[in-house]
Structure 1
Amino acid sequence: MRWKRVRIGSAVSAIGLVCMATATAPAQECEPSGVALLQPDYEVKYSEFGCSVALWGDMCLVGDPGYPNRHDEKTGAVFLFRRSGTRWVLEDKLRASDGEAGDGFGRSIAVSNDLLIVGASKSDGRWADAGAVYVFRWNGTTWDEEAKLYAFDGHEGQYFSSSLAVDDDVIVVGAPYDDQNGQWSGSAYVFRWDGAQWITDAKLLFPDVLEKDFFGRSVAVADNMIMVGASGNSGAVYVFRYDGHYWYLDQRVPAPDGSWGDEFGHAVAMHGNRAVVGMPEGDGHNRYSGVAYTYEWTGSAWVEDTQLEASDGEEGGLFGHAVAISGDTIIVGAPAIYSSEYAAGAVYIYQNTGSQWSEAYRIEAWERYDEDQFGLAVALSGHTILIGANTEYIRPFGPSAWVFRVADSPILVAQHECPGGGPMTIKWSCTTPGGRVALIYGSNHGELTIPDGNACAGTQLQLGGPRVVVISALLWSDSHGNGSMVGTLPEGACGGYLQLIDVTTCEVSNLTPLK
């Protein structure tokens, strides 16, 4: 493919890749980059948008149990945002088919493969505020409501579905206000798909669970193992395993320091042979600043590994209120921490280097206000992080969810208008600090190898013809590996694609459509 010198941006000139420097350096470790702000399509005081979040493929799911129906009754909804290039677009909203005001539909959500489950913890289906779970299945185009689940022995004020987890054909539902072993002792229910319908597989409880233990405050499931957090009193996490016929208690994990009221088990998450447990009222660097604990599965038991604390933790920050884990990465929400504003919140990222977990980054909303509660809910999938920030105030960044990306290759974002063209801002991150980058346009998606005679020769791009344009190879990143440029997008360029190359490492960015 011949490289053309065509000007498509008013602020830059197009030159050939032959101007590039030789690639010698390794790939960069990158700070998380904020790529999207998700907000509801309405303004209403006391919205709860962002109180629950989940990630599924190229889709972000955000719960809002206060979303109003056409009669202004707060029946709740789950917002579905789909990634389109570097943007996240509201695609749909899920509502309960029989939703009523105050049900709390969307208070909790969980997703696995083609299943999405949504909690309505104050649904009055059989008893007032007993709670229910709605099951949706992806049909390849939309989410179809498949079932509504109840506790077979529910009661008033049980709040069944306060927490949720799903793994393939197994659903786990927390009911921390169940009174079976005393007021608010709690319980958890397991449902299994038998090929035709969802059946109750087990009710999880244990004799030592007592009044106000809040067993079921949090739940997690993976393979044939379930974790249930009981955050009340001294706190504990209960591990259940499936032997092919029954769920049995395999291990009780107590709070490491056994302190009363520390909320150990308020949040749990597991992935593979690793788990993380939040204790948001525990004593870290400061009293009640919050901590989280990591655990490793030895093949026979979960063993405590590392105590995580915020490097700048403060009293009442609620570090550990929300947790998520994926591979070698853990994220921990601290929604009440002071972040230039009171209770603005922050999220901490920890990475495992092979021998230990260590704090890698602290991220916060790029615009902060009092009581934003950034980090109230968190989700992690691969390199994508989704963070809920729920506040009762209406303002530019009120109830919201924020999408961040952690990567070891360049990230490219284009802010533009198509069709029609016009002003365009291009931003990049995660490149060599102070290094050169090249920005390339292709009229089609395709496969293109940089030819010999150019630096980064042999590097493959996802661009195709009939037009491939080197917009500029004389762009420079700042000392943090970030950069931006402003130009004008001609109308004829709409429908094409942009890609960026870190000239030092020859790492290639994501493909960014101009649509």
Structure 2
Amino acid sequence: MNCSARVLLGPLVFFAATVQAAYVLPESKRVAFDGNESDAFGWSIAVDGSHAVISADGSNDQGLDSGAVYLMDTATGTLTSKLTPDDGEAGDSFGWNVGLRAATAIVGAPHDDDLGFNAGSAYLFDASTGEMLHKLTASDGQQGDLFGVNVAVDGNLALVGASNRTEQGSRAGAAYLFDVTTGLQLAKLVPDDSAENGLFGGAVALSGNRALVGAYGDGEFSGAAYLFDTTTGAQLAKLTPNDAAANDYFGFSLAIEGDLALIGAFGDDDNGHNSGAAYLFDALTGEQRAKLVAIDGAAGDGLGRAVALSGPMAMLGAYWDSDQGDRAGSAYVFEVASTAQVAKLVARDGQPDDFFGESVALSGSTAIVGAWGDDTAGATAGAVYLIDLDQVVNVPEPATVVAVSWLSVALVMARRGSTARLFAKR
């Protein structure tokens, strides 16, 4: 099946099978127990099993914008503790990005100044006890690197991006591998074609012996992503979409699980300027499998600003979706095997500038969506929504997907005029 057919299949199924948005239940909403104005709780989220890490990088506990993270028990939805580093200071932005695997959490602080202004750092924590394990810095760290702008952890490896590092030019970027047990740096990753303003390391992900690193500034911000072997540090492939275009921001967000990679391109224009999209790639061969777009996508939605991948499901955030007001936001769920869009999530109490969907996390059927602009606990204090996808998603079997899609062709052809008017109004 060619790429265009795969893209078409998902939206058609959604039109026939899920006409209404799946609204998030009000009781699924959580705000920080000590939330304050401008905390931006929900700015970054990671979940694995019964553990979740939620950042509030605007928290002022250790000075203005020093940052903090919260641990959540996803079984109960309870925020169990709040973490700050031993040496946190004003402006560190601790929690700019977070990662989690099993009971190990990693937290980026890209504005930490230990090695120079905005050189950056990252911290490892035990997510069960809240104990700080290690502080990570680059062996060659220097001013302005923004080490910690994006972080990931899997098994005994941690990966930290430094998107502003000067390598083969200003802001070419780099990424660093660490041993979780010892905190020691194992390798430094840079692409074979490292170039000025590539912003390599702006997004990172780990799975087994594969590291995936985004470089969304590559090629006039058309973007790229790179696969590396974590054992050897060797570059395996450079990933770019078949329909790459300037300012797509491909690689701004990404996820990897086993032999599958999911890469966001929130600047893609298929459904209008910056409507957004995401791509599925084979993480073993580097081949593109499919492109995911929303059936109701519209200009400015920014689909793919955040992405998450777990088992049969993929989740894409559309942080500027305007169903409930300008930039209220939404999140979409896709079934990976068929690429069918199976649900759209919006907050029942969504408001303009909530930015619901700027962060998303997924583990099994447990999803968490951040809305850092939520005002419940104060202006932009932030909130998150804990969602059981089993309650809102009915994934069709592959045979059903094909059957429904042919019915959908007729429906779309019959309603093409009204759909065009809908996009025009947006």
TM-score by length of 1: 0.68
3-state SS of 2:275 partner: coil
Could you say which residue in structure 2 is the equivalent of 1:145? 132
Task: Report if aligned partners of 2:38, 2:59 keep a CA contact under 8 Å in 1.
Answer: no
1:41 deviates by: 2.4
Could you say which residue in structure 2 is the equivalent of 1:308? 292
3-state SS of 2:214 partner: strand
In the aligned structure 1, how far is the partner of 2:271 from the partner of 2:64?
Answer: 44
In the aligned structure 2, how far is the partner of 1:394 from the partner of 1:241?
Answer: 44
Task: Report if aligned partners of 1:32, 1:404 keep a CA contact under 8 Å in 2.
Answer: no
1:80 pairs, out of 71, 74, 77, with 71
Could you say which residue in structure 2 is the equivalent of 1:287? 273
Could you say which residue in structure 2 is the equivalent of 1:156? 143
- CA RMSD between the two structures: 2.2
In the aligned structure 2, how far is the partner of 1:184 from the partner of 1:358?
Answer: 37
Gaps of 5+ in 1: 1-29, 412-428, 432-515
1:31 deviates by: 5.8
Give the aligned residue type for 1:329.
M
What's the CA shift string for 1:397-453, capped at 9, x where partnerless?
Answer: 95101111111xxx6xxxxxxxxxxxxxxxxx899xxxxxxxxxxxxxxxxxxxxxx
In the aligned structure 1, how far is the partner of 2:280 from the partner of 2:23?
Answer: 22
Matches within 5 A, 1:300-339: 301-339=285-323
Could you say which residue in structure 1 is the equivalent of 2:46? 54
Gaps of 5+ in 2: 1-20, 395-426
Could you say which residue in structure 2 is the equivalent of 1:200? 185
- The answer to whether the aligner puts 1:240 opposite 2:231 as a matched pair is no
Give the aligned residue type for 2:93.
G
Between structure 1 and structure 2, the one with the greater Rg is 1
Could you say which residue in structure 2 is the equivalent of 1:267? 253
- The answer to whether the aligner puts 1:100 opposite 2:89 as a matched pair is yes
Task: Report if aligned partners of 2:317, 2:331 keep a CA contact under 8 Å in 1.
Answer: yes
In the aligned structure 1, how far is the partner of 2:247 from the partner of 2:215?
Answer: 11
- The answer to whether the aligner puts 1:388 opposite 2:370 as a matched pair is yes
3-state SS of 1:266 partner: strand
Task: Report if aligned partners of 1:176, 1:217 keep a CA contact under 8 Å in 2.
Answer: yes
In the aligned structure 1, how far is the partner of 2:143 from the partner of 2:355?
Answer: 30
What's the CA shift string for 1:449-471, capped at 9, x where partnerless?
Answer: xxxxxxxxxxxxxxxxxxxxxxx
Describe the shift of the 1:283–1:73 C-alpha distance in structure 2 as closer, same or farther (beyond 3 A). closer
1:328 deviates by: 1.0
Matches within 5 A, 1:16-35: 34=25
Matches within 5 A, 1:484-499: none
Number of aligned residues: 369
Describe the shift of the 1:32–1:327 C-alpha distance in structure 2 as closer, same or farther (beyond 3 A). farther
1:296 deviates by: 2.5
What's the CA shift string for 1:214-238, capped at 9, x where partnerless?
Answer: 1111111111111111001231111
Q: Going by fraction, where is helix more abundant, 1 or 2?
A: 2
Q: Going by fraction, where is strand more abundant, 1 or 2?
A: 1
1:348 pairs, out of 332, 342, 348, with 332
Could you say which residue in structure 1 is the equivalent of 2:161? 174
Task: Report if aligned partners of 1:289, 1:313 keep a CA contact under 8 Å in 2.
Answer: yes
In the aligned structure 1, how far is the partner of 2:96 from the partner of 2:63?
Answer: 18
Give the aligned residue type for 2:360.
V
What's the CA shift string for 1:53-76, capped at 9, x where partnerless?
Answer: 11132233210111122x764321
1:32 deviates by: 7.5
1:302 deviates by: 2.1
In the aligned structure 2, how far is the partner of 1:89 from the partner of 1:219?
Answer: 28
Identity %: 30
1:380 deviates by: 0.2
In the aligned structure 2, how far is the partner of 1:200 from the partner of 1:430?
Answer: 41
Could you say which residue in structure 2 is the equivalent of 1:16? none
Could you say which residue in structure 2 is the equivalent of 1:216? 201
3-state SS of 1:278 partner: strand
3-state SS of 1:143 partner: coil
What's the CA shift string for 1:45-104, capped at 9, x where partnerless?
Answer: 3222111011132233210111122x76432111112245xx422211011011001101
Give the aligned residue type for 1:202.
A
1:182 deviates by: 1.1
Describe the shift of the 1:180–1:72 C-alpha distance in structure 2 as closer, same or farther (beyond 3 A). closer
Matches within 5 A, 1:356-367: 356-367=338-349
1:273 deviates by: 1.6
In the aligned structure 2, how far is the partner of 1:199 from the partner of 1:254?
Answer: 32
In the aligned structure 1, how far is the partner of 2:362 from the partner of 2:114?
Answer: 33
Task: Report if aligned partners of 1:32, 1:406 keep a CA contact under 8 Å in 2.
Answer: no
Describe the shift of the 1:339–1:97 C-alpha distance in structure 2 as closer, same or farther (beyond 3 A). same
In the aligned structure 1, how far is the partner of 2:229 from the partner of 2:201?
Answer: 16
1:406 pairs, out of 380, 386, 389, with 389
In the aligned structure 2, how far is the partner of 1:213 from the partner of 1:72?
Answer: 32
